[in-house]
Amino acid sequence: MDSPTRKFVPKSTRLMDQVREVLRFHHYAYNTEKSYVSWILQYIRFNDRCHPKDMGKSEVEAFLSYLALNRGVSASTQNQAFSAIVFLYKQVLHMDFDLDIRASRARKSTRLPVVLNRKEVADIINQLNGTAKVLTQLMYGCGLRSLEVIRLRVHDIDFSQKQIIIRAAKGNKDRVTFLPTNLVSLLKAQIISVEQLHQDDLANGFGEVFLPDALARKYVNAAKSFGWQYLFPSKTISKDPRSGKSMRHHLHKSALQKAISQVVKKLGMQKRVTPHVFRHSFATHMLEDGANIRMVQTLLGHKDVKTTEIYTHVMSTQFDNVQSPLDNLQQ
């Protein structure tokens, strides 16, 4: 995502259409666009639908305090709402904005991640089938986020170097992780399947896939090239919400969530298992096996090693040589 430094004057007269135009001009992700639009609408409705030009610091403080005190949102959620409002005033309305906001702040909390032991990971993967199984193996085997794995393109798999390229990940940064040997044959078969589907789409007048704006302008025919196709495509052709073109998008993340949820229920597990738990388990098991924490940080794409350090608190090995005093109590 480009840093919003250039002044852009939208063509639309309606405020929310202007917000969308400016967000797209600066190449914000579609999910970010939806979030920002939602927060700005909530801010306006909270203040009796007044136009933001007629509001200022006191209204912003009241809204952010309401989120923290009445809705009990997390610190990160409150920060996202604040970022959306700052974007509105500075980039859309081009108004001076006082960043010294004295709203009630949501409390930051540190929650230990849910981590599966190795048997639990194996039990779940063995019960999964098809695409859901491969996706889960990629998350656990490579430490990918759920959106990262479903957004993989065919050319992101480098079999010769045994690595996977994750493009435009969190923070709009690229990174590289390794390709587990156990996944090579599965991914080669998946690519063959995608190639056949792509040929069918081209024959039916489709075959185009979403590309970031800059790439779409620079490489006009890239959207129909095989390498840019999603590795895990949707079963149906759909209309892109921005361009309006009919194309095949990637698989929706809810499909993986549903498949894992069904297996966890079938196995009778009591842990709250989401797809992201497999990323947590990857990091924890890597550290348990003696991997350098800086290497794990790089593989996960964490900006700060302190984020990676949370996994040291859930490693099973840290209790191997200690015993509860209750176990030594003479009763």
Active site members:
145, 170, 276, 279, 302, 311
Which residues, 6+ apart, have CB-to-CB distance to 116 below 8 Å? 124, 271, 273, 277, 278, 281
Residue 233 pairs with which residues in a beta bridge?
A: 250
Structure tokens at 68: 């923290």
**Surface-to-core class of residue 182, CB atoms within 10 Å of its CB (0-12 exposed, 13-18 middle, 19+ buried):** exposed
How many CB atoms within 10 Å of residue 154? 20
Round to whole Å and give the CA distance between 223 and 43.
37
Round to whole Å and give the CA distance between 235 and 121.
27
User: Among residues 121, 140, 43, 56, which one has the least CA distance to residue 95?
Assistant: 56
DSSP state of 13: S
